[in-house]
Amino acid sequence: MQFNLKKIDPEVAKLIVAETKRQRYTLDLIPSENIVSRAVLEALGSPLTNKYSEGYPSRRYYAGNAVIDDVEVLAQERARKAFRLGKEWHVNVQPYSGSPANLAVYVGLLKPGEKIMGMSLPFGGHLTHGWKVSATGKFYTAVQYTLTREGYLDYDEITKLAKKEKPQIIVAGATAYPRVIDFEKFAKIAHDVGAYLMVDMAHIAGLIVATAHPSPFLHADIVTTTTHKTLRGPRGAIIFANRNSIIAKRRDIDIASAIDKAVFPGLQGGPHDNQTAAIAVALKEADMPAFKKYGHQIVKNARALAHALQKLGFQLVSGGTDNHLMLVDLTNLGISGREAQDKLESVGIITNRNTIPYDTRSPFDPSGLRIGTPSLTTRGMKEREMKLVASFIHEVLTGANAGAVGKKVIALCRRFPLKY
């Protein structure tokens, strides 16, 4: 019997068509979103979704997992290859997404109530870096570092805070920080107080693979990442654990085993094997020469977009960007992040409202917009198109010629179509 989605469930089929059309004819400037290949989609929609495989390769609780073992080992090997790592790095590709991956590190290496130190959410950090409403802030004691008024990390202040609080894990990483993070400095800060350095590279993983951003692997004890965003794979996550971690050895902990046990059986049941296969496909794509060009073009595009926006009078937190994203401070325009987001969406430009450092507005209606270039770069756009996009944003938010922008957006999307 052949199954056809349109026949079996026309309602869902219609919604998928509608969402695909929306993606085709809008400019996606959300830094955490991207466009996967057909090959990744094929793996996600494969019969691997039928299998149950609790455990790890060669140590499963179900029969019939020989092929699944090969898929998972392949994903692990490709992760090491893409990030230029040796066997001292243990790789777990089973976390369902970035948040459970980060939580698994804490569960594996800390006791409840022990201390995490991470970037404060309103300053660009992530919920799972110890923010109070997250499980990571409820089950562990959280200490938060912030940014300077200019929007930069202050490593001297972070050092002072670490010496005062003596956390067990320091997290380096962000969701809305447009500058390069100095992982070497973070490692010294962490190791000087006896803490693990955990790097959450979810946003910049694809840039690191492409050598468009410094790598954390020379300095970190643990590295986590999602597999979408700049890495351009499916929704999922990877945890890398350094078997040579001086902190783990000092604490007499088998860091690889501790993290594996935290993922399964600690937090999850069986992995999503179709997701694991899609991660493997994305990692193979990331190891191709074209991916390096793509990663560097993301940064070039972000800098071009930032520069064009500044020339049009927009203020950017920290004055620019070193990576894939920028944070626009809308205060001088007299509009909120939510208002700007809604106006832009009405003409097909998709952004997300975001707090800025020392924001006085509510997180639901903050003073900033977070925008990035991964999706537009995947579509093939370059610096010239970034200038156009900046002009579109300016026209909409200043009311100069907002009505005509929607047609211009569709025309640009047609010049750089999706592959499906």
Please say if 20 is a catalytic residue.
Answer: no
Is 60 an annotated catalytic residue? Answer: no
Which member of 235, 251, 300, 338 is catalytic? 235
> Does the annotation mark 14 as catalytic?
no
Q: Give me the pLDDT at residue 401, please.
A: 73
Catalytic residue chosen out of the listed positions 26, 224, 226, 321: 226
Tokens of 355: 């707090």
Among candidate residues 28, 200, 273, 285, the one labeled active-site is 200
Tokens 């109530």 correspond to what residue?
113
Of the candidates 107, 124, 180, the one whose C-alpha atom is nearest the C-alpha of residue 116 is: 107
The ranges of the chain annotated as CATH 3.40.640.10 are 43-286
> Is 229 assigned a catalytic role?
yes
CB atoms within 10 A of CB 188: 16
Which segments in the chain show pLDDT lower than 70? 1-3, 400
The torsion region of residue 193 among left (phi > 0), alpha (psi -120 to 50) and beta comes to alpha
Q: In the chain, list all ranges with CATH 3.90.1150.10.
A: 290-415
Residue 265 preceded by cis peptide, ω within 30:
yes
Residue whose C-alpha is closest to residue 233's, from 276, 278, 289, 175: 278
Find the catalytic residue in 24, 25, 33, 52. Answer: 52
Task: Tell me which of 24, 25, 33, 54 is the catalytic residue.
Answer: 54
143 Cβ contact list (under 8 Å, min separation 6): 115, 116, 117, 118, 130, 161, 165, 167
CB neighbours of residue 380 within 10 Å: 12
Task: Convert 157-167 to b/e letters by CB count within 10 Å (16 or more is b).
Answer: ebbebbeebeb
In this prediction the pTM is 0.96
Q: How far apart are CA 102 and CA 36, in angstroms?
A: 23
What is residue 399's predicted lDDT score, i.e. its pLDDT?
83
pLDDT for the residue numbered 402: 75
pLDDT at res. 2:
57
Q: Which residue among 179, 229, 343, 379 is the active-site one?
A: 229
Q: DSSP class of residue 195?
A: P
Clarify whether 140 is annotated catalytic.
no
Cα distance between residue 222 and residue 197, in whole Å: 7
348: left (phi over 0), alpha (psi -120 to 50) or beta: left
Please give the CATH number for the structural domain made up of 290-415: 3.90.1150.10
Question: 43-286 adopts what CATH topology?
Answer: Aspartate Aminotransferase; domain 2 (3.40.640)
- Express each pLDDT in 50-78 by its tens digit: 999 999 999 999 999 999 999 999 999 99
Residue 1 has what pLDDT? Answer: 44
Nearest residue to 237 via CA among 51, 104, 58, 57? 104
Catalytic residue flag (residue 96): no
CA 232 to chain centre: 10
Gap between the Cα atoms of 108 and 371, Å rounded: 34
How many Å apart are CA 5 and CA 13, to the nearest integer?
6
What's the pLDDT at 165? Answer: 98
